[in-house]
Amino acid sequence: MSDPRNVIIIGGGPAGLTAAIYASRAQLQPLVIAGTIPGGQLMLTSHVENFPGFDEPILGPELMERWRKQAMRYGAEFLDEDATAISATERPFTVTAAGTPYAARAIIVATGASAKWLGLPNEQKFMGKGVHTCAQCDGFAYKNKEVVVVGGGDTAMEETLTLAKIASHITILHRRGEFRASKIMADRVLQHPNIRVLWNTVVEDVLGDTRVTGVRARNTETHESIELTTSALFVAIGYAPNTGFLRDQLALRPNGYLEVQQHTRTSVEGIFAAGDVEDAHYRQAVTAAAGGCMAAIDAERWLATQEN
Ligand SMILES: Cc1cc2nc3c(=O)[nH]c(=O)nc-3n(C[C@H](O)[C@H](O)[C@H](O)COP(=O)(O)OP(=O)(O)OC[C@H]3O[C@@H](n4cnc5c(N)ncnc54)[C@H](O)[C@@H]3O)c2cc1C
């Protein structure tokens, strides 16, 4: 195995790239194991309108390309592979990617989360063109329009209430006869005058030509098929954190997200976490970036204590 790196950053989205900028500027010569789909979730979107510092909307892939170049400018090295395992029981730690083990004095995990999709025939075709997973990010485009939300958990309630401030009417399609969400969130939705719920209803496909114009759904009790006219379908059936490869090495919360204490520290000293992989609450590029900054500073300070 090669000499240990000061820090290996796993993940090449907003959190990982920000950690890379801070770690490389701190002369830690980080290796970023950026994943086989580098850039993270913003690669899936078109215009990002809420990232500070851009007075005009910027395309998600362009933002991520510039972000990565910024990290490379200060010396961060990249490997566009998935980490398949880490060993956190001995120091230096080991991160394995593409069958090769890499030793590291410190690790920052920034592997993000993946939105769950319905698997509809036209879902991916309309992604960003009326099919969305983030009301906070994309809801603004549907001011005074009618939109559809799918889901019945807390994510769906949050997305719906965010959209209720923007859209004219919202229809929630839920496959069961009651919400799984907490009662307080569900009540807020059910009492809202501009929100209606179609219970026991599953979406069968998204309709449209170049953009979404409707959805086709089916009532699971009557088997009746319906078509709803809508400008957008917000898929709000939850997120899955990308923590599978860490399971037996770092403590996870019951929902699968990484457990952190004291800002960015994981259950193992010397291993830090940032972004959506540990944050199921905010899930924004700017909060992930902030987490990446914090994790790099925490790693730098922790490494300094190890040298004394
Ligand atoms: C369609 C869409 C639109 C959005 N629009 C906005 C918006 O307009 N504004 C906003 O603020 N937020 C937006 N978000 C949310 C934002 O993208 C996320 O909050 C943010 O990207 C989280 O950053 P992250 O670095 O924590 O994780 P991610 O962006 O998920 O990046 C994680 C990275 O880790 C990599 N990875 C995963 N597993 C491994 C592994 N085993 N080994 C190595 N690498 C791995 C992934 O390939 C990915 O590159 C949007 C999200 C989506 C899905």
235, β-bridge pairs = 150
Q: Is-catalytic flag, 134?
A: yes
Q: Is-catalytic flag, 138?
A: yes
- Quote the ligand 1 centre to 163 CA distance (angstroms): 21
Digitized pLDDT (tens) for each residue of the chain, 308 residues in all = 779 999 999 999 999 999 999 999 999 999 999 999 889 999 888 789 999 999 999 999 999 999 999 999 999 999 999 999 999 999 999 999 999 999 999 999 999 999 899 999 999 999 989 999 999 889 999 999 999 999 999 889 999 999 999 999 999 999 999 999 999 999 999 999 999 999 999 999 999 999 999 999 999 999 999 999 999 999 999 899 999 999 899 999 999 999 999 899 999 999 999 999 999 989 999 999 999 999 999 999 999 999 75
Contacts of 308 (CB under 8 A, 6+ apart): none
Q: What is the 3-state secondary structure (H, E, C) of 34-57?
A: CCCCCCHHHHHCCEECCCCCCCCC
Q: Which CATH class for the 117-235 domain?
A: alpha beta
b/e burial code for range 107-128 (CB count within 10 A of at least 16 → b): bbbbbbbbbeebebebbeebbe
Is the pTM here over 0.75, yes or no? yes
Q: Which of 138, 154, 276, 298 is catalytic?
A: 138
Q: Where are the domains of the chain?
A: 5-114+239-307, 117-235
**How many whole angstroms separate alpha carbon 301 and alpha carbon 284?**
26
- Residues whose beta carbon lies within 6 Å of some atom of ligand 1: 10-16, 33-35, 37-42, 44-45, 48, 50-51, 82-83, 110-113, 115, 133-134, 137, 242, 245, 275-277, 283-286, 288
- Quote the ligand 1 centre to 113 CA distance (angstroms): 6
Same fold, 5-114+239-307 and 117-235: yes
Nearest to 10 by CA among 244, 224, 261: 244
Q: Is the CATH number 3.50.50.60 carried by domain 5-114+239-307?
A: yes
**How many whole angstroms separate alpha carbon 300 and alpha carbon 23?**
7
**How many whole angstroms separate alpha carbon 69 and alpha carbon 54?**
17
Nearest-CA residue for ligand 1 atom 3 is: 45
84 neighbors 247 (Cβ within 8 angstroms)? no
- Quote the ligand 1 centre to 246 CA distance (angstroms): 18
